[in-house]
Chains A and B, each alone.
Chain A
Amino acid sequence: MPSRTCSHSPSGFGKSLPEQGLLLLVVLVLLEGSVLPLGAASSPDVSHQDDSHNHKVADHGVNATKKVFPVLDVDYHHIQTPFEISLWVLLASLMKLGFHLIPRLSSIVPESCLLIVVGLLVGGLIKLAGEQVPPVLDSRLFFLCLLPPIILDAGYFLPIRPFMENVGTILMFAVVGTVWNAFFVGGLLYAVCQIQPANPSSLHSIELLHCLLFGSIISAVDPVAVLAVFEEIHINELLHILVFGESLLNDAVTVVLYHLFVEYAGVGTVTVMDGFLGVISFLVVALGGVLVGAIYGILAAFTSRFTSHTRVIEPLFVFVYSYMAYLSAEMFHLSGIMALIACGAVMRPYVEANISHKSHTTIKYFLKMWSSVSETLIFIFLGVATVDGPHSWNWTFVTVTVILCLVARVIGVVGLTYIINKFRIVKLTTKDQFIVAYGGLRGAIAFSLGFLLDQNQFAHRKMFLTAIITVIFFTVFVQGMTIKPLVELLAVKKKQEAKRSINEEIHTQFLDHLLTGIEDICGHYGHHHWKDKLNRFNKKYVKKCLIAGERSKEPQLIAFYHKMEMKQAIELVESGGGVKLPSAVPSTVSMQNIQPKKPPPAKAAERALPQLPKGREEEIRKILRSNLQRTRQRLRSYNRHTLVADPYEDGFSDLLIKKQKMIELEKKIKEMNNYLTVPAAPPDSPTMCRARLASGKHIRISHSQMQTLNIYHHFTVR
């Protein structure tokens, strides 16, 4: 990304907004001031002038009147900057809360639009109050603080498989598509500005290079906007990854084009040599960024190998290494976004194998939280910055820009898809193309890049900014709002909500092996062949280095299986009661028998015991719940340094022993299959209860339940 040091905006927020908030404080303090006899010297100080004034008053006589000790004093200046930042963040979060309280609104209008409107309102209020609007969308702030969390969130949770499968398509769109957009828009804009020789307007003075620069700024699809809008429409995975991947990978192109044109706009000419250097620069920027990210990712993975004794700070490593990857890439003017993506994607499989379950949850929630706040702030600031200006509206320029952007995008997508479809196995249909073209939203990155331009060098900076903002508004509002109904109208395939099952996982792996084998038979070194080779290399060397202890040998399928079992166990414990066996033990064979699927508990109950009379159910529920309480209590106490023992990690060998016992017991009971009839036992023994229910019906499930209850009895009695 281009140099972030901006020469004309202070990094602070400006000293005006706090005065608004201070009015409130002043009122409060005045009230108190009237109650407590404070005296003149301690009256609220609204600005530092009063401060110094007081000091002067005090200084006037060396042993002058003893000042009444200021019991209550206001020193805003002391806490100004953090206070303002917190205030903005609070505003953003409250807005987010507010939108979701109004259900109808959030279903019609995407959040990004609402946030921009809020920003407009806030900016408008500030301007009405006569204060200077703080230059909030400062490029340094944006690129160094607001953008990284969003990108890290995207990179860490990037679905690798679909991404890699479509990486060719994504790269085509990102690289070729963006270059095409830039030149098309820039070139035609210049042409349009040159026409009308009759009445010379200010437009005539635009140079070609400036137009091309403008084109390159405006042509990049913005990941923040895409994320914000696409998250709400739930389209299928393929389209999502195409548009989103494109928005991420076009960063390298934007960097190179921007630098190129800024450099040479001063000189005035671009030669073929420069173009060639530009291409080389692109490769360096892109690959360099990925390399930097990968290095930091491996470092993070390696560090996480040793964190088994200090679980508390595990998430910190993930965040800090990633951020440093971003900053390092920025330092060399490489693509920071690609570095961040590479870092997150590389470190994830190894880190997740090493860290505790709680750290995993922490990382997930922190990333989501930060990226959510960042996104909200960005949109609000966009609104505020719009009010701020500076604007220079020019009908021709702005409308032509908007139209050209749309046209360029459509032509680009259609043309590229035509070429891409020759190489794809799953072709992109017209509907897909439409969504990809329509989803090309512009956002805050374009604005920040425009903001970075030097006013002296680029006379039309204001006009550019106005045009950029208009395009952003157009794409976010018009396209953002209409994409959801269009998706419905065109019946575009939506995201499958089904969770991954173990069958799928087994079959996916099976298929991978199968297809690799077929490729080997055909002698074809295709996609699967290389993937297989990479996996082998990974297993043999890399995993041993980066994953601690035993987990390094754990096949992927097992890891997946354990994850699923853990999830299920946690779900059971959280939902409490019902005809299920909760346990702190993550996986038991019998538990599966009771709840063969993961649908809501009610359904499981129905399936497991279709003829369970209500009274019995209540009894069983009571018994189970009382057992549950015991489990819960065990988990309650902990201190910061010794987190609660993760049953999954620490007692694992115990678990295996228990499981073995259960399996043996189950086998024994299966042998007694047909002998269970109505026993004459007292109703409060769960074992007998079960057996009674099972009388006469050969339901395999109930035997295991009985046996499990039996065993559970053993274990909880301890």
Chain B
Amino acid sequence: MGSSSSSMDHIPNAEELMQETGFSAAHLLRLYERFEFLDKDQTGELRPEDFGAIGGLALNPIGDRIISAFFSPGQETVDFPSFVRVLAHFRPNGTNRTRNGTQQEPVNSRTRKLKFAFQLYDQDRDGKISRAELLQVLRAMLGIQVTEEQLQSIAERAIQEADLDRDDAISFDEFKKVQQVSPHPQTPTKETPLHPTEGGR
């Protein structure tokens, strides 16, 4: 946490951002440094190509979805506040709430995280994951070694398990419910890499 306040001045509206997203000053600074690193031509904004330059992301099956999640519909570029806002979804929601053993997380935070994940499935943003969208995700994740029928069966089954109102698509509530039933340790509530003491570049 040895960052001087002078570098914080580079960041526009630092105070507001910290309030809004809950990041600490150190976190924010680190994110800013990363933002600048990614912004190769120093325009102050990121474009899809900048994201594409990240090696690991190219190999990631849902890499392009993640990238598009940063860009609001219609926008071509991402500025720093939007960048931080998206990443704020992955902040652990544990700093100032009381725990009593049972997992009673504040509904809004967990919901927000699930909503983010949901939006990654739901590319056309109609509020439901249709069978076609699910198939797309499966295809991306499972690659080419799987036959079309297998994909169909899996998608079919997944929808049947989750779809309670029988509209052949998974709405956000149904999505939440499925995740609620067995809280696997890897829910989005627990993930963030953004601890200043963790890891390095």
Contacts and interface: CB of A to CB of B under 8 A. Distances in A.
Contacts of A491: 101-102
A517 B145 contact: no
A518 B66 contact: yes
A432 B90 CA distance: 25
A514 B67 CA distance: 10
B92 to A, nearest CB: 5
B74 interface: no
Given A429-B99, A514-B117, A561 B200 contact: no
Nearest to B66: A517
A554 B144 CA distance: 10
B169 interface: no
B54 A521 contact: yes
A674 B161 CA distance: 26
Contact of A561 (B117, B153, B166, B186): B153
A513 B200 contact: no
B138 A506 contact: yes
A492 interface: yes
Given A503-B158, A596-B160, A656-B149, A516 B60 contact: yes
Contacts of B143: 555
Interface string A506-530: 1111111111111111111111110
B126 interface: no
B31 A522 contact: yes
A522 B87 contact: yes
B185 A162 contact: yes
A427 to B, nearest CB: 7
A522 B60 contact: no
B77 interface: no
A520 B87 CA distance: 12
B51 interface: yes
Contact of A554 (B117, B145, B158): B145
Contacts of B166: 700
B156 A561 contact: no
Contact of B201 (A490, A523, A589): A523
A34 interface: no
B56 interface: yes
Interface stretch (B2-10, B14-22, B176-184): B176-184
Contacts of B72: none
Contacts of B193: 518-519, 522, 524, 526-528
A426 interface: yes
A227 to B, nearest CB: 21
Nearest to B83: A521
Contact of B57 (A506, A517, A554, A557): A517
B141 A503 contact: no
Given A522-B31, A524-B199, A513 B141 contact: yes
B137 interface: yes
B25 interface: no
Interface in B131-184: 137-138, 141-143, 145-147, 149-150, 152-154, 156-158, 160-162, 166, 178-179, 181-184
Residue of A427, A516, A520, A663 with most partner-chain B CB within 10 A: A520
Interface of B: 31, 34, 37-38, 51, 54-57, 59-63, 66, 87, 90, 92, 94, 99-103, 117, 120-121, 137-138, 141-143, 145-147, 149-150, 152-154, 156-158, 160-162, 166, 178-179, 181-188, 190-194, 198-201
Nearest 9 CB-CB pairings of A with B = A520-B56, A524-B193, A596-B160, A526-B193, A517-B66, A431-B101, A498-B182, A503-B178, A553-B145
16 contacts: A426-B185, A493-B101, A498-B182, A502-B154, A502-B158, A507-B117, A510-B62, A515-B191, A517-B57, A517-B62, A517-B66, A518-B87, A520-B54, A522-B194, A523-B37, A529-B56
Given A491-B101, A510-B117, A511-B191, 14 more contacts: A506-B154, A508-B184, A509-B141, A511-B187, A515-B90, A518-B193, A522-B193, A527-B193, A528-B191, A553-B145, A558-B150, A561-B154, A593-B160, A656-B149
